[in-house]
Amino acid sequence: MQQLPTKSEIDYKREQIIDSKPLEMQQLPTKSEIDYKSEKYKDAYSRINAIVIEGEQEAYENYLQLAKLLPKHEDELIGLSKMESRHKKGFEACGRNLEVTPNMQFAKDFFAQLHQNFQSAATEGKVVTCLLIQSLIIECFAIAAYHIYIPVADDFARKITEGVVKDEYTHLKFGEEWLKAHFDESKAELEEANSQNLPIVWKMLNQVEGDARTMMMEKEALVEDFMIQYGEALSNIGFITRDIMRLSAHGIKAA
Ligand SMILES: [Fe+2]
Ligand SMILES: [Fe+2]
């Protein structure tokens, strides 16, 4: 409800004009300008690092539950869960390296809705929904975040993240292959699970927009990378372009 200035009151050269631009239009600092030890960076890192650690923990638990739901793939899924556990340890080391204590309560709250939806689906034996949440949404979210983070990470975290992102592709591939092999009977459940869970990803991205910017990661770049990974996954499973556009729009509607 603030009063707009009259035209004669506008000082077009004022610095604040830049500051008052929407977040996404402000200039990001260059990587050499990042001070990884500054309080501001460490404060943002305490939440982002916690989200990554919690995300890997969720993934570890989710693949163990999937191993029970898909006994034919038990060994493979237990193998994937072990990889997630290693990822978690790697990111915990990244936090220690910057002397940051991850804010795990923030991260638990951040994942609460996806966590709840996965648990409900697992209880009901809805394998398709579980795979969509873990192997498509969480893996694509992780891949997008790690892609955008790698170029602006500190050297220690960059090496760890580069190793992790390769593994996440194999997890995404597991979900794609299973869903492709069961496409016809999974299609309706995939559409339903997509409309319930994709909007949650948008809320999650909005929640960390400010912290991501402090770490030089732009929300638009995260969204773009996520949509590319997710769209490709849907295409690999068997959806046609028209369906992919419609499914993707469920996320955008909630933004
Ligand atoms: Fe992982
Ligand atoms: Fe993964």
114 vs 200: CA distance, rounded Å = 7
pLDDT score recorded for residue 16: 41
What is the mean pLDDT for each group of 10 consecutive residues in the chain (255 residues)?
58 45 58 88 98 98 98 98 98 98 98 98 98 97 97 96 96 98 97 96 94 96 96 98 93 60
Polymer length in residues for the chain: 255
Q: How far is the CA of 36 from the centre of ligand 2 (A)?
A: 26
249 vs 144: CA distance, rounded Å = 18
pTM, two decimals, is 0.87
Q: How far is the CA of 165 from the centre of ligand 2 (A)?
A: 8
Enumerate residues 6+ apart whose C-beta is below 8 A from 106.
Answer: 47, 50, 51
Enumerate residues 6+ apart whose C-beta is below 8 A from 129.
Answer: 117, 118, 121, 189, 192, 193
Number of neighbouring beta carbons within 10 Å of residue 125: 10
Residue of 227, 223, 229 whose CA lies nearest to 245? 227
Q: How far is the CA of 167 from the centre of ligand 1 (A)?
A: 7
Ligand nearest the Cα atom of residue 62? 2
Q: How far is the CA of 60 from the centre of ligand 2 (A)?
A: 8
Q: How far is the CA of 158 from the centre of ligand 1 (A)?
A: 15
Q: How far is the CA of 62 from the centre of ligand 2 (A)?
A: 10
pLDDT score recorded for residue 178: 98
pLDDT score recorded for residue 32: 73
Phi, psi of 80 (to 5 degrees): -65, -40
CA distances from 66 to 78, 104, 127, 203 (A): 9, 24, 7, 26
Ligand nearest the Cα atom of residue 63? 2
Neighbours of ion ligand 2 (CB under 5 A): 59, 168, 171
In the numeric block, which tokens belong to residue 244? 């992919």
pLDDT score recorded for residue 250: 83
Q: How far is the CA of 164 from the centre of ligand 1 (A)?
A: 6
pLDDT score recorded for residue 179: 98
Q: How far is the CA of 18 from the centre of ligand 2 (A)?
A: 39
Q: How far is the CA of 187 from the centre of ligand 1 (A)?
A: 26
Helix axes 39-69, 74-97, angle to 10 degrees: 170
Q: How far is the CA of 85 from the centre of ligand 2 (A)?
A: 10
173 vs 192: CA distance, rounded Å = 21
- Ordered DSSP codes for 77-99: HHHHHHHHHHHHHHHHHHHHHTT
b/e for 150-177, b at 16 or more Cβ within 10 A?
Answer: eebbbeebeebbeebbebbeebbebbbe
Q: How far is the CA of 143 from the centre of ligand 2 (A)?
A: 9
pLDDT score recorded for residue 25: 55
**Chain centroid to CA 8: how far?**
45
Q: How far is the CA of 22 from the centre of ligand 1 (A)?
A: 32
